Amino acid sequence: MLWTFALACALLAITPGPDNIFVATQSIAYGARTGWMITLGLLSGCILHTSLLAFGFVTAVERWPELITLIKVGGGGYLLYLAYTIARSTVSFQQGALQNHSMAWWYRKGVILNASNPKVFLFFVSLLPAFLWDATYSKAFQFFVLGGIFILVSAVIFGLIALFAERFSILRQWLTEHPKTFKVIQSGIFALLGAYVRSEEHTSEL
């Protein structure tokens, strides 16, 4: 059963979504190290989702469904704010984001992107309970094991995405020669992610 769950996690990680697209685009622009740090942040967000599920947040959401709305509005609003600040900035691609933002900055962006995406939590709520394998074991323990498998599988796939995305040297050269276009792309990515997180429709897919 755990192998089946791991396969489901792999399919989810490979399927294009806001997390792996963000890792890929930033890795193309700034290198695999940045992509790996974003991945670390994203996976830290998964620990939060697992902990909430293990410690009964599902019950709270069922009682106060507006909590999900608050998460969406807050997280989406922050991403839209980032899109605005990037659009207004004068930093060029040649200056390099790594000189202006530390690895900790990219890590925080990964945490915020994942923690504010209700689709991840809804995926956990929908799938993890179906893979509890022993009624005699603590449910919290089993949730953390399943969450750990999800994190491990995602770490491998996202790490490979970052590594291969960095190899697009031609695209990196093009970005270097067109800094204004790159800024528009960056701002647009954050805007789309913010709109995605705040939207009502995508939560019904799970």
pLDDT tens figures, 130-176 = 777 887 888 788 889 988 999 999 999 999 999 888 777 666 666 66
Quick one: pLDDT at residue 97?
A: 43
Q: What is the pLDDT of residues 171-202, one digit of tens each?
A: 666 666 666 776 777 677 667 766 765 664 44
Q: What are the Cα distances from residue 33, in Å, to 58, 90, 93, 109?
A: 35, 24, 17, 14
CA pair distance 22, 19, nearest whole angstrom: 5
Q: Where are the alpha helices (DSSP H) in 55-65?
A: 57-63
Q: What pTM, to 2 d.p., does this model score?
A: 0.65
Per-residue pLDDT averaged across 51-70, rounded?
Answer: 71
Quick one: pLDDT at residue 61?
A: 61
CA pair distance 56, 83, nearest whole angstrom: 34
Contact (Cβ atoms closer than 8 angstroms) between residue 28 and residue 155: no
Per-residue pLDDT averaged across 103-120, rounded?
Answer: 83
Per-residue pLDDT averaged across 90-119, rounded?
Answer: 69
Give the angle 127-124-155 at the CA atoms, nearest 5°. Answer: 105
Quick one: pLDDT at residue 189?
A: 67
Which residue, 135, 133, 147, 119, is CA-closest to 55? Answer: 147
Res. 28 pLDDT band, cuts 50 70 90? confident
Alpha carbon dihedral 126, 122, 115, 58, in 10-degree steps, equals -80
